[in-house]
Chains A and B, each alone.
Chain A
Amino acid sequence: MADSSLSKTRLFFIFFLFLLFLFCLLLRLGFLQIWKSSKYQSLARNQSRAIIEMQPARGRIVDSKGRDLALDIRLDSLYAVSREIKNKDAVSAALSRILGIGRGEIFNRLDRDKLFVWVARKISPAKAEAVKRLKIEELEFVKESQRVYPKGDTACHLVGFTDIDNEGLEGIELHYNSFLKGVPGWRLAQKDAKRRELVSREVEMVSPVDGYNIHLAIDEVIQSLAEKELAEVCKKFNARGGSAIVLDPGTGDILAMANFPLYDLNHSKKASAEEKRNRAVTDIFEPGSVFKTFTLSSIVENKAFSLNEKFDCENGSWAVAGKVLHDHTRHGVMPFREIIEKSSNIGTVKGALRLGGEKLYQTIRLFGFGERTGIGLAGEVGGIVPNPKNWSRSSIINIPIGQGVAVTSLQLAAAFGAIANNGILMKPRILTRIDDADGKVVQDFQPETVRRVISKETALQVRTVLESVVSRGTGKKAAVPGFKAAGKTGTAQKILPNGTYSHDQFVASFAGFVPYDEPRVVIAVSVDEPHPVYYGGDVAAPAFSRIASGVLSYWQIDKTEAPREVIRPGASLVKTSGLRAAAVE
Chain B
Amino acid sequence: MRRFAACLTVVTLAALVYVYEEVEAVKTGYAIRRQEEAKTLLLDRGRALKFSIANLKAPHNLERKLLAQHITLASPKSWQTLVMPGAGGPRASEMAGTSPAIRVPFVAKFFVGTAQAEARESD
Contact = CB atoms under 8 A, between A and B. Distances in A.
Given A72-B47, A152-B60, A574 B120 contact: yes
B57 A64 contact: no
Nearest to A552: B75
A73 B49 CA distance: 9
Given A154-B60, A553-B75, A581 B33 contact: no
A245 B63 CA distance: 22
B44 A154 contact: no
A151 B116 contact: no
A196 B33 contact: yes
A235 to B, nearest CB: 15
Contacts of B62: 584
Given A67-B57, A197-B33, A554-B75, A577 B26 contact: no
Interface stretch (A81-89, A380-388, A446-454, A555-563): A555-563
Contacts of A67: 54, 57
Given A143-B40, A558-B99, A558-B100, A575 B121 contact: yes
A512 B102 CA distance: 28
A481 B11 CA distance: 95
A553 B78 CA distance: 9
Interface stretch (A101-109, A220-228, A458-466, A523-531): A220-228
A582 B73 CA distance: 10
B78 A220 contact: no
A581 B116 contact: yes
**In terms of DSSP, what is the predominant structure of the interface of chain B?**
helix
A192 B52 CA distance: 39
A555 B95 contact: yes
Q: Which of A153, A220, A572 has the most CB of B within 10 A?
A: A220
Nearest to B54: A150
B122 to A, nearest CB: 6
A585 B120 CA distance: 18
Given A65-B89, A574-B72, A198 B26 contact: yes
A558 B94 CA distance: 13
Given A71-B51, A73-B51, A580-B118, A199 B28 contact: yes
Contact of B121 (A72, A553, A574, A580): A574
Nearest to B120: A574
Contacts of B115: 583
B50 interface: yes
Contacts of A153: 60
Q: Which of A65, A74, A192, A556 has the most CB of B within 10 A?
A: A556
B123 A572 contact: yes
Interface string B76-115: 1010010100011101100110011010000000000001
A192 B23 CA distance: 13
A68 B29 contact: no
Contacts of A197: 29, 33
Interface string A186-200: 000000100011110
B49 to A, nearest CB: 9
B5 interface: no
Interface string A137-159: 00000010000101111100000
The 5 closest A-B pairs by CB, nearest first: A199-B29, A150-B54, A224-B59, A150-B55, A553-B75
Given A555-B95, A579-B71, 18 more contacts: A68-B54, A73-B48, A125-B48, A150-B51, A150-B53, A152-B55, A224-B60, A553-B75, A556-B95, A556-B99, A558-B99, A574-B123, A576-B121, A581-B118, A583-B115, A583-B116, A584-B59, A585-B88
29 contacts: A65-B89, A67-B57, A73-B48, A143-B40, A150-B55, A151-B58, A154-B59, A192-B26, A196-B33, A198-B29, A198-B33, A199-B25, A199-B28, A224-B59, A228-B63, A553-B75, A554-B75, A555-B92, A556-B78, A556-B81, A556-B99, A574-B74, A574-B122, A575-B120, A576-B121, A579-B119, A580-B119, A581-B73, A581-B118
